[in-house]
Amino acid sequence: MATVIFYEKPGCINNTRQKKLLQAAGHQVDERNLLTHPWDVVSLTRFLSPESRDSWLNRTHPGLKSGDLELDLSQPDSVVAAMCRDPLLIRRPLMEIDGHCLQGFDAELLDQLIGLSVMPDGDIETCPRSQHASPCK
């Protein structure tokens, strides 16, 4: 059994489903509010894979979806700074497990790392509300 520090957007449907999968496997979930956590470049960068910058962002962020906000992933320092200022830009969840920092819910990786008793059916990362007129923010 592992303790998972789970940075979430409270009320997010997928984050709720993800936590239930972790708890069903016997893991302790320590919930943290991703939106109110005092992120800085150093603390946030621990969760971000430099090889996959395109996966850092919450693509359902209203500014990104509308095109009003553009971030240049070839400038990672400015992207991370923007994410610290507006944590809604951060793709969730962020998890810390025994010193391992992860972004997103990769069920196969989590199963290898700590074990899941049930694998999710279908996509557990894309917000089901993202196709509606008023998605989660």
DSSP 34-102: TTTS---HHHHHTT--GGGGGGSB-TT-HHHHHTS----TT-HHHHHHHHHH-GGGB-S-EEEETTEEE
CA angle 56, 111, 41 (to 5 degrees): 25
β-bridge partners, 33: 8
12 an active-site residue?
yes
Given 12, 84, 101, 136, which residue is catalytic? 12
Residues 6+ apart with CB under 8 A from 67: none
Residues that are catalytic: 12
